Amino acid sequence: MNFLEFDENGIPIDPGDDPHRSFEPSMDVSGNIAANIVMAEEEINARAIEARNYFNNLMHFEYEDLVGNGAFGIAVRVKWTGVGRSRRFIVKRARNEDSARELRHEIDIMAMGGKGVALAEKYAYEIDPADHTTYAQNLNGAAHIASVIAYEDDRRGGRRRRYQQWRLRSRFARRVASIFGRRVPSYFLVGLPGPSLALEYLENGTMDRFRKKLDENNDIVPNRILWRIFLCWADSKLEEFGNIPPSRLVHGDMHPGNMLFGTIGDFPEHDIVPPVKLIDFGLSFRNPVGVMWNISDIAKNMMWLIIQRLVPLGVWPLDYNDIVTEGAPLLDAQWAPKTRHLDPELLDILLRCLAQSPLDRPTLAQLLQVAKDAVQNRDQEYYGAEAFQESDVSIQRFVQQYIYDA
């Protein structure tokens, strides 16, 4: 069985074929596409220049680089300096009004506790402020979610007044605050037009970069690393949305580009592998089976990492132990070189997480129990002496090569 892969635009690629469309667009379509591309580039450049000029003229701030852009807008890296220390973070800005609505929604979910009006406008349901405040509290500061440094929601009143007050503070007062304060000034975004969101800078790259680097070297991911990444993602679902009462919130855009490696922290599962953190909640939404949806997304991304291809789901259903699973690539001979080393229990739980029926998927509590047990109790000896790639030394070298030095 041959499995299709998606290109960067979401278009299926036939194995061995040119990864581009096989037809030429009409002149009208081509002209519209070209015009939209030019307009997008102009908007991106304008927002980036605006951010550069703003931060380079703000005391103790330095604009460093444009690190990302797309339909959502732009992401720039900014450095904040003080005496003897500095800190980098990412500032997200909208490209236009359409993307501004998405960014406002992300601010609602990650920082404001859902108290803004964007959720009601976009999804047409009544906001429960207490419910959304719980989401925000769980999101910000969670070990597996990118931390919010600051945000500016342009729907809030008093923006101009707050900005003027901050700018009117004496140069000496602002310098003292920067030197002796332990946090980045809370209002440093108020001078930027439109909504903006500042997040911690995760310097070790995306899961997609990790996947591509593995593929370039024809390498596989050791089981002990896979279990730790799996636990990260299961923990992130628990931290984001809570499980009592069952959540209805779905991330909505979970893919390898929205998952980044942090740095090793004070957590048992991160003794040798840095945590994976989830970003970009602009497309999140609520659904009655949100937890089951998220569980499927976790397993899908695990499968993509293991086989190192972004294959679509739902195309090749497979009967497996009395359920129908969408994880057929994990059992197909085409990917055997990438999967034959897999821990049988990891393979089994991924196939069950990818069950077509949400009722056939394990619960979040079951995922956490299995993953935590594997992380805590499975060392090189568990996989056999010949499994040299599972040793602490091999894993440390693997992490250095594919995450820190990539």
Segment 61-109, tens digit of pLDDT: 999 999 988 777 899 999 988 656 788 999 999 988 888 988 998 888 8
For residue 169, give the DSSP letter: S
Of 403, 200, 405, 216, the C-alpha closest to 308 is: 216
Radius of gyration (C-alpha) of the chain in whole angstroms: 23
Q: Are residues 367 and 260 in the same domain?
A: yes
Query: The tokens 């935590």 sit on which residue?
Result: 372
Residue 239 lies in a domain: yes
- pLDDT above 50 for 20: no
Q: Of 153, 171, 200, which residue constitutes the final position of a domain? A: 200
Domain of 262, in residue numbers: 207-404
In this prediction, residue 167 carries a pLDDT of: 57
* Same domain? 136 vs 175: yes
**Residue 92 assigned to a binding site:** yes
Residue with the larger pLDDT of the pair 267 and 72: 72
Whether 195 maps to a domain, the answer reads yes
Instruction: Count other Cβ atoms within 10 Å, centred on residue 399.
Output: 19
Q: Are residues 169 and 230 in the same domain?
A: no
Residues 238, 253, single domain; the answer is yes
Flag whether pLDDT at 4 surpasses 80: no
Cβ partners under 8 Å of residue 155, min gap 6: 104, 116, 117, 118, 195
Task: Reply yes or no on whether the pLDDT at 347 is more than 50.
Answer: yes
Greatest mean pLDDT among 28-37, 90-99, 220-229: 220-229
Predicted confidence at residue 387, as pLDDT, reads 83
Whole-number Å distance between alpha carbons of 336 and 330? 8
Most trustworthy range by pLDDT among 26-30, 33-37, 144-148, 346-350: 346-350
CATH number of domain containing 122: 3.30.200.20
State whether 332 and 231 are in the same domain: yes
pLDDT at site 119: 36
**pLDDT band at residue 267 under the 50/70/90 scheme:** low
Q: What is the C-alpha separation between 148 and 107, in angstroms, rounded?
A: 9
pLDDT digits (tens, 9 = 90+) for 153-191: 877 655 555 555 555 554 555 555 555 445 566 678 988
Is the dihedral angle over the CA atoms 333, 349, 249, 306 positive or is it negative? negative
Last residue of one domain, picked from the residues 165, 200, 235: 200
